[in-house]
Amino acid sequence: MERDILKRSERNIIEYINNVLGFTADRDVVKGIGDDCAVLRKDSSSCILLTTDTLVAGVHFDLAWHPPLLLGRKAGAVNLSDIAAMGGEPRFALLNVAFPGSAPTWLDDFLAGFHEILQEHDTHLVGGDTVKSSSDISITVTIIGEAAEDNICYRSGTVTGDLVFVSGSLGDAAAGLDLCRSGMPGDDIEQWQQLRNAHLDPQPQVQLGRLLAESGQVHAMMDISDGLATDLAHICAASGVGAEIYKDSLPVSQQLNSAASTLGKPFLDWILKGGEDYQLLFTVSPDHEQDLRELVFKKNGREIFCIGKIIDAPGVFLSDGLHREEVSYQGYDHFAE
């Protein structure tokens, strides 16, 4: 057995666990480790989706600026987003919270936020565990969803020539995190409300995910949690292809542009490496591009953004029309020091 796996990146740990433990030779495992959700057969036409995430204080959130109500919302949102990324319908939730016994009202507010986001997505809390920790607050949320087997969108399945789409502006959440970290006084930070909200209270794209999955036109899909550079690399690796991103086509909000000037940071870093946007990233054949744009506009009243294309050569490349630079896996890694 290979040692020292803790020195590796999160991606490698997951691969390692999958290789050593992910023995999915069961008739009811449609997809085990390696996508946004595990997919289990429920009956002849429908599947159960399972996703779980752990958030640790001081690593994934900072109690200094993350109000517990919004943190409760976010703990639900990041898992609802995984269900969205497969095109599923969230149904049930489990909540595990470990905390030291020293925060009398913190859990009340956290639970209120968690409750709120579940209700918004018609998802029912059915179990969990509350335990005492010695120091860290740590939160694990598990969401159980459902989807018709034929509609589920995996990371694999895209082919050369497909167009790469995202569902909305990228980089806002990462910029919001930088702003929260900057220690900027309250009055100054007020102007960046949209960016801070993107970090503190992200919106899972559940409705859009289902619409895209049901359209039958999406070849691969996932949500952007670790930054475009890493997440698109996951789709490429799972599908055995590469991708080229067009720098000028990336959807950038006005606030992001303006924060980039103020903080003196290139906004591309936030987009490629920042993560936590929880927008959907998906690929479509050029033949269906127009149909899909129209469907999304008609049903959800929104635009989707083509940011690149799938290519033969492995890797994710950023192109400004003249030069191409490889950016694969430059996103957020939960194990980076």
Q: Which of residues 22-51 bind a copy of itself (CB under 8 A)?
A: 22-26, 28-29, 32-33, 37-38, 40, 42-43, 48, 50-51
Q: Which stretch binds a copy of itself (CB under 8 A): 86-94, 230-238, 262-270, 312-320?
A: 86-94
Return the number of the residue (43 or 248) whose C-beta is nearest a copy of itself.
Answer: 43
Cβ atoms of 193 and 169 closer than 8 Å:
no
Instruction: Decide: is 64 part of the binding site for a copy of itself (CB under 8 A).
Output: no
Cβ atoms of 245 and 166 closer than 8 Å:
no
Residue type, 158: T
Give the end-to-end CA distance of the chain in Å, rounded to a whole number.
Answer: 25
Q: Which stretch binds a copy of itself (CB under 8 A): 56-64, 150-158, 166-174, 298-306?
A: 56-64
Give the rounded distance of the alpha carbon of 107 from its chain centre. Answer: 25
Give 184's DSSP letter: -
Instruction: Please classify residue 102 by burial: count the beta carbons closer than 10 Å to its beta carbon, then call 0-12 exposed, 13-18 middle and 19+ buried.
Output: exposed
DSSP per residue over 160-178, as a string? TTPEEEESS--SHHHHHHH
What's the rounded Cα separation, in Å, for the pair 275 and 259? 17
Q: Which stretch binds a copy of itself (CB under 8 A): 14-22, 154-162, 221-229, 250-258?
A: 14-22
Return the number of the residue (105 or 254) whose C-beta is nearest a copy of itself.
Answer: 105
Q: Considering only residues 63, 64, 136, 291, which one is a binding residue for a copy of itself as defined by CB under 8 A?
A: 136
What's the rounded Cα separation, in Å, for the pair 239 and 260? 34
Which residues inside 172-211 make contact with a copy of itself, applying CB under 8 A?
none
Size of the site for a copy of itself (CB under 8 A): 81
**Closest distance to a copy of itself from the beta carbon of 167 (Å):** 23
**Closest distance to a copy of itself from the beta carbon of 204 (Å):** 17
Instruction: Decide: is 104 part of the binding site for a copy of itself (CB under 8 A).
Output: yes
Return the number of the residue (134 or 261) whose C-beta is nearest a copy of itself.
Answer: 134
Instruction: Decide: is 148 part of the binding site for a copy of itself (CB under 8 A).
Output: no
Q: Considering only residues 65, 67, 92, 314, which one is a binding residue for a copy of itself as defined by CB under 8 A?
A: 92
Instruction: Decide: is 135 part of the binding site for a copy of itself (CB under 8 A).
Output: yes
Q: Give the burial string for 49-65 (b: 16+ CB within 10 Å, else e).
A: bbbebebebeebbeeeb
Cβ atoms of 164 and 285 closer than 8 Å:
no
Return the number of the residue (46 or 217) whose C-beta is nearest a copy of itself.
Answer: 46
Instruction: Decide: is 62 part of the binding site for a copy of itself (CB under 8 A).
Output: no
